[in-house]
């Protein structure tokens, strides 16, 4: 269904919802069009081109918010949606106030960021690039046995909200990604695996030489890896590793977990929780972000803000519901997950420092680089902040990157780690996160406890 047809249906649905007896109501429509191909053994092994749509409705009655959703948009669906949402209201017993919102000064919200380059995303273009990339990866080194995973995908779609208070909110975006992984056999017969990724909006901006150089480092750099003796090591997390590490604990910065007693950051706003060299900002309209987000899914305008400001916990992220409970204003972080709304970040940026990655290593002298963390769910207690994770990396010897390291475990506590950060690098990367992206540099996090093989040299 096209967006214009959906818009007319939503207007009709909202009007019918008010006539049905809801005090307030809202309709949301999302259309997701995507295409992807997988390359394996010199051919396109799979191809998918799909378009899915979903409409959700929520209505307020006697202080309760009922929800229902469908992917069928016709007159019969209206009755089903209204009846189901009203029945939902009758069985709910949520004591917290619920909100359907519209800023009187910002009723019509519109932001389109569709790129002209999206039309370049065709089956032939993806197949040609994918086959060429697989061949180039295999040609990097005779020790590479196979490219086990290579996918190129793209997606686009509009997102529209209409409610009974007058809100008419529309935004869209598009983008594409390339992800690949391969395995290689080391001289001792052990098998190593590694890969790389690229995200962007224009297939012509993909730099294959740059991609291959990083791919080669991530895979062949593991050759000869072995464990290290257990001990406390000065540690640098690469941008990817720090992104993984910080992301898994970021839910603690949402207001709702704090209010439910599920975050140790409750009542800590305005206090120092981290090293003064750490600043984490949310910049929804960040210039370097692929997707910019001027307003959230509740119709609240987004704003630039520091979440951690030179070590001080500046603000939690609030939606309308959690902001009301805290006597605050929403920070513009109310986003939909299905029919419901909860806090979610937009574009997050760890403010970079002045030192390059190599200068961080020089500062450390002797220690360890952590490049990849595994077990980010099983090995993490997201509430207490405790973690014990399998990881890989490299030694730091005399301020230089040394031999590769594997079969080690790093353990500690998130809140203690961010207090002990010594330096932040300037080598930023970005990965998708929340409704936007997370930009992170390398970080010298102080000393970490590493468990390894005490027989290692």
Q: Where are the domains of the chain?
A: 3-220, 231-451
Question: What H or E segment, with its residue span, contains residue 383?
Answer: none
Q: What is the pLDDT of residues 120-149, one digit of tens each?
A: 999 999 999 999 999 999 999 999 999 999
Query: Going by C-beta distance under 8 Å and a sequence separation of 6 or more, which residues neighbour residue 278?
Result: 308, 310, 311, 350, 418, 421, 424
At 136 the pLDDT is 98
At 408 the pLDDT is 97
Q: 16-20, 218-222, 258-262, 453-457: lowest mean pLDDT where?
A: 453-457
Least Cα distance to 146 among 207, 186, 193, 211 occurs for 193
Fold classification of 3-220 is PmbA/TldD fold (3.30.2290)
Alpha carbon distances (Å) from 68 to 16, 99, 147:
15, 16, 43
Residue 302 has pLDDT above 90, yes or no: yes
pTM: 0.94
Both tokens assigned to 5: 């047809």
Mean pLDDT, the chain, rounded, equals: 96
Residue 190 has pLDDT above 80, yes or no: yes
* Number of residues that this document lists for the chain: 457
Q: What is the pLDDT of residues 408-443, one digit of tens each?
A: 999 999 999 999 999 999 999 999 988 899 999 999
Check the CA dihedral 301-307-309-313 and report its sign. Answer: positive
What end-to-end distance do the CA atoms of the chain give, in Å? 64
**Helix and strand totals (H; E) in the chain:** 9, 21
Q: If pLDDT is split at 50, 70 and 90, which confidence band does 94 have?
A: confident
Q: If pLDDT is split at 50, 70 and 90, which confidence band does 377 have?
A: confident
Cβ pair 97, 292 in contact under 8 A: no
Calpha distance 249→314 (Å, rounded): 17
Least Cα distance to 410 among 245, 278, 273, 274 occurs for 245
Both tokens assigned to 389: 């994770």
Q: In 104-167, at which residue ranges do the beta strands (DSSP E only) sit?
A: 108-111, 144-163
Both tokens assigned to 139: 């040609």
At 434 the pLDDT is 84
| β-strand partners of 292 | none
At 455 the pLDDT is 81
Residue 338 has pLDDT above 90, yes or no: no
For residues 319-331, give the mean pLDDT.
96
Cβ pair 203, 125 in contact under 8 A: yes
Give percent above pLDDT 70 in the chain. Answer: 99
At 380 the pLDDT is 96
At 340 the pLDDT is 80
Count CB neighbours of 332 within 10 A.
26
Query: Dihedral of the CA atoms 353, 303, 157, 163 (nearest 10)?
Result: 160
Cβ pair 404, 222 in contact under 8 A: yes
Burial class of residue 353, CB neighbours in 10 A (0-12, 13-18, 19+): buried
At 339 the pLDDT is 64
Long-range (24+ apart) CB contacts under 8 A made by 118-125 are 118/154, 118/156, 118/174, 118/201, 120/202, 120/203, 120/204, 121/35, 121/154, 121/176, 121/203, 123/35, 123/37, 123/47, 123/49, 125/203
Calpha distance 254→377 (Å, rounded): 18
């Amino acid at each position: 269904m096209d967006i214009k047809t959906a818009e007319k249906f939503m207007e009709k649905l909202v009007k019918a919802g008010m006539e049905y007896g809801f005090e307030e109501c809202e309709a949301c429509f999302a259309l997701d069009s995507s295409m992807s191909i997988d390359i394996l053994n010199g051919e396109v092994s799979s191809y998918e081109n799909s378009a899915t749509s979903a409409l959700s409705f929520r209505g307020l009655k006697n202080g309760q918010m009922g929800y229902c959703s469908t992917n069928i948009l016709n007159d019969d669906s209206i009755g089903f949606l209204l009846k189901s949402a009203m029945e939902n209201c009758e069985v709910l017993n949520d004591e917290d106030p619920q909100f359907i919102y519209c800023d009187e000064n910002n009723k019509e919200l519109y932001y389109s960021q569709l790129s002209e380059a999206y039309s370049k995303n065709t089956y032939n273009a993806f197949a040609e690039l994918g086959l060429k990339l697989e061949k180039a990866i295999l040609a990097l080194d005779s020790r590479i046995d196979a490219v086990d995973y290579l996918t190129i995908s793209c997606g686009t779609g509009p997102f529209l909200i209409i409610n009974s208070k007058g809100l008419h909110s529309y935004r869209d975006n598009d983008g594409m990604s390339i992800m690949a992984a391969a395995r290689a056999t080391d001289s001792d017969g052990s098998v190593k695996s590694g890969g790389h990724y690229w995200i962007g909006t224009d297939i012509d901006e993909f730099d294959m030489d740059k991609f291959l150089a990083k791919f080669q480092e991530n895979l062949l750099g593991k050759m000869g890896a072995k464990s290290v003796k257990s001990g406390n090591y000065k540690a640098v997390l690469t941008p990817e590793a720090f992104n993984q590490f910080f992301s898994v604990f970021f839910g603690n910065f949402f207001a709702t977990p704090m209010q439910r007693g599920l975050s140790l950051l409750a009542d800590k706003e305005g206090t120092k929780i981290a090293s003064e060299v750490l600043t984490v900002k949310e910049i929804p309209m960040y210039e370097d972000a692929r997707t910019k987000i001027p307003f959230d899914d509740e119709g609240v305008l987004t704003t630039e803000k520091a979440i951690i400001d030179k070590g001080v916990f500046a603000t939690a992220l609030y939606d309308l519901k959690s902001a009301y409970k805290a006597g605050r204003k929403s920070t513009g972080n109310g986003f939909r997950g299905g029919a419901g709304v909860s806090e979610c970040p937009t574009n997050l940026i760890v403010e970079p420092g002045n030192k390059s990655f190599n200068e961080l290593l020089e500062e450390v002298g002797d220690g360890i680089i952590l490049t990849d963390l595994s077990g980010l769910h099983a090995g993490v207690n997201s509430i207490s902040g405790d973690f014990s994770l399998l990881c890989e990396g490299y030694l730091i010897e005399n301020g230089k990157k040394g031999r590769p390291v594997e079969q080690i475990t790093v353990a500690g506590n998130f809140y203690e780690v961010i207090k002990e950060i010594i330096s932040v690098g300037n080598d930023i990367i970005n990965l998708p996160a929340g409704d936007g992206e997370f930009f992170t540099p390398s970080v010298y996090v102080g000393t970490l406890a590493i468990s390894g093989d005490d027989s290692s040299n």
